[in-house]
Structure 1
Amino acid sequence: MCNHQVFRTMRFPVNSRQMHKQAGFASILLILLIGLALTTLVIGMVTSVRSLQDSSLTTHAQTQAQIKSAIGYQALSGLLETLNATQIDQIDNGEIKDGTTLTATYKKVTTDCPAEAGGTQYFCYDITAKSGGASSVVRAIYTEITTGGGAFDGSIFAGGLEVGHERNLQGNQTIQVGDAGKGSGIVKGNGNNYYTVEDFLDGTGFTVKPYQPTTFLTAEELRPSSNYIFYANGKCAKNNLYGASIYNTETEPVTCSSISGITVSGSGASKKWTIDAASSAIPAGVLWFEGEVDINLKSSRDLVNTIIATGDMQVITTNQGGAGKAYAPYHYYLESSTDLTTKKARICGSSATGIPTQYCDTTGTLKTIDTERTKISNILFFSDKIITFEVKNNSPMSLYGNIMGIGGGGGTSSSGKFNGTGVINIKGNLTFTGKGVTKLNGHVNVILNNGSSGGSATPAQKVMTLSGLRYM
């Protein structure tokens, strides 16, 4: 009954067979739509991947171009820093290569470069590098600056001056004096009294001025311009020498024992070099020392050299009944009464012993002292630290040339010391630019005289530096 009733109440759709056909077609359409969507999604993903690949390649190429332009900048800077402004002014463009492979090109920029101002000249270059389809341009702006002393007028005591008595220091120079920390730049030997500038001027012959900060080259900066180099590790080298053997770099090794007249004692930090001025075998030229140096002056023979040291320097005369004399090479030419042939031999040596190329030509003739390299021949003694002079009463000391100490850290550390019981005559500039006080004990007399014309100039150094850098 129940089944019959159910059967009777059921209703079958009209055209039921066609309705089943439409339902199948809809399913197919749905599947096609899903497939189309998936296809579109896949195509989009492939396109996106390709775009990312292109972007990655472009970024990589741009990065490589920037790296190459930076390498080109470093290479160009290395070239320009060895040249002066006149030489750089002649460089318009060029290529930078790693072997035969082109790294970058450079070209001088003139229309968008800072104008010369206050004596400062600018040089601008665009460094261009390419990688793939990308390129990178770096604009570098260089300027030349001068470091070092050049010429200076008179003597300098930057850390102040301590004198033993009123007549301890005499002469006819202009001297610059810094503050000695006692309310004045010039302090009396007991440290409790001091002279005003007016007091010190009275009867001394000096013109005294406040110290104006001055920068000189260091011993290390002068090393490339030296001739005989003595390193702290016991090794030696020759440089800037012409003759039977030609030495052009400061790293060309020689045995130290082959350089006569110089001995060494101690080891490590206590190592000390000693120069025996009486030795006729001391070579002509600039002697450069890493560490401390003692210079023993003798009346039997004049010293004619430039001596440079990174450490303390001590200049000594012993009891010998005569004056110990030392000349900077150019001052020997100006001051010595010996004949010209002898002067040339002492200043320039010979082709057999080696001719200093900084201030002598290949024939052993002194050059005109008008370049930075030749001016080193105006220096007699130079130290990065303290210079001490020890003189005996019957053995005065006569020094011709510029004496320069740039050390002395202040406090109890002096820049220069004058000890003994005799007279020290200096014709040239006595220059101490350290913070320490220069001290003259009460029994030594120092006489400072103006040097000859042209003898006051000391080396300066022109350096090409970067003043601006940007990507274009």
Structure 2
Amino acid sequence: MVDNQGIAVTDLGGLSLGNFDPNATFLKADDVRDYANYIFYKNNTCARNNLANVSYVEGGITKYKDITSEEPVTCSDISSGISGNTGNWSISGNQTLPVGVLWFEGNVDITLSNTKNFVNTIIATGNIQTYISNANTEIKVRGTLKDYFSYAPNHYYLLNPNSDKFQRVCGLSTSSPPVSLVPRPTQYCNADGTLKDMNTSPANIANILFLTNGYLGLDSIPGGKSQVNYYGNMLSGSLAGGTGNASGDFRGSGIVNVYGNLVVKNDVKTSLLGNINLQLKQGTGGGNTIPSKKVILLSGLRYM
């Protein structure tokens, strides 16, 4: 590992840097499509899967069913916060998004909001990039910003004190027994609102925040006025191979906190010559695992 002047870096400030066999198996988006809840294809067709308590009307009566294999659904009916249908998708973090794992064919741009936590697993066959909404305007007007937070479902369930964790993670109410407010993801959520064993597959897909076959771009906020926080495992660049292209791009000059594992195949770059404070915080227990028969991760920054 070298810095911008080509000088070898020996002090990583406590970060764990692991080297892997370049021929090692790397988790790809297609490996986990069957575990997703909402699937977005380039040809403007969508599907849903692994859901319980899906409502439908039959003979004027509302009934409920479970979905255990891909069922077609109109893309626009999934969420008004998701747009695009030609392989370039946009997600608005301040809108209501479907609960669970979202799988995309193509590239995904995510605009984060400082007024609403982002809680989902996002998987893409292309690139994933996050952007900060109105950061420069907010700094000029108010001088300070709220922090930004993005969570994998399991990490939100475990770490966030808000009472909405049952709804945001499992689509359930906080009543006892819980009531289904929206379809419940069955890969990792039990009917009573508890989570399944996060050391097992496919439940541990809920530990993934972002998984992309291409590159992962993360925004920071200029001048360190606020922090951008990511809770969960992030993996990128499974198809980068020997192209020489970067698989990780950390933009800006602010602070990015990663609470989990950051796995990058091929190079990492920073858009402002490294003027970014990337802090990795150790994840623990079942939160470090991802779907089985693939790479099992320990905490740290890793190059494949």
Tell me the equivalent position of 1:337: 161
Q: Secondary structure at the match of 1:460?
A: coil
Tell me the equivalent position of 1:442: 274
Change (3 A) 1:253 1:445: same
Give the TM-score normalised by the residue count of structure 1: 0.53
For the residues of structure 1 that align with 2:215 and 2:76, how far apart are their CA atoms?
A: 27
Give the aligned residue type for 1:222: V
Q: Is the contact between residue 226 and residue 288 of structure 1 (CA under 8 Å) also seen in structure 2? A: yes
Tell me the equivalent position of 2:197: 368
**For residues 82-115 of structure 1, what are the alpha-carbon distances to aligned partners after superposition, in whole Å with 9 as ceiling and x for unaligned?**
xxxxxxxxxxxxxxxxxxxxxxxxxxxxxxxxxx
Which of 62, 65, 74 aligns to 1:255? It is: 74
Q: Is the contact between residue 252 and residue 276 of structure 2 (CA under 8 Å) also seen in structure 1? A: yes
Give the aligned residue type for 2:37: N
Structure 1 range deviating more: 377-386 or 214-223 = 214-223
CA displacement at 1:461 relative to structure 2: 3.9
RMSD: 1.9
Q: Secondary structure at the match of 2:67?
A: coil
For the residues of structure 2 that align with 1:361 and 1:333, how far apart are their CA atoms?
A: 13
For the residues of structure 2 that align with 1:308 and 1:215, how far apart are their CA atoms?
A: 17
**In the alignment, does 2:292 pair up with 1:460?**
yes
Which of 104, 119, 123 aligns to 1:308? It is: 123
For the residues of structure 1 that align with 2:92 and 2:211, how far apart are their CA atoms?
A: 17
Tell me the equivalent position of 1:56: none
Tell me the equivalent position of 1:264: 83
**For residues 299-319 of structure 1, what are the alpha-carbon distances to aligned partners after superposition, in whole Å with 9 as ceiling and x for unaligned?**
100011100000111011131
For the residues of structure 1 that align with 2:242 and 2:2, how far apart are their CA atoms?
A: 15
Which of 343, 346, 349 aligns to 2:171? It is: 349
User: Runs of 4 or more off by more than 4 Å in structure 1?
Assistant: none
For the residues of structure 2 that align with 1:397 and 1:261, how far apart are their CA atoms?
A: 24
Which of 233, 246, 261 aligns to 2:66? It is: 246
Which of 23, 28, 39 aligns to 1:229? It is: 39
CA displacement at 1:258 relative to structure 2: 1.0
Figure out how many residues of one structure are paired with residues of the other and give that number. Answer: 262
Q: Secondary structure at the match of 2:31?
A: helix
Tell me the equivalent position of 1:71: none
Give the TM-score normalised by the residue count of structure 2: 0.80
CA displacement at 1:447 relative to structure 2: 0.4
CA displacement at 1:454 relative to structure 2: 1.6
Larger helix fraction of residues: 1
Unmatched runs of 5 consecutive residues or more in structure 2? 54-63, 139-144, 173-179, 295-304
**For residues 388-426 of structure 1, what are the alpha-carbon distances to aligned partners after superposition, in whole Å with 9 as ceiling and x for unaligned?**
112222342100000001232344411111111211000
Tell me the equivalent position of 1:413: 245
Q: Percent identity?
A: 39
User: What are the within-5 Å matches in structure 2 for residues 380-419 of structure 1?
Assistant: 380-393=209-222, 394-405=225-236, 406-419=238-251
Unmatched runs of 5 consecutive residues or more in structure 1? 1-185, 463-472
Change (3 A) 1:378 1:427: same
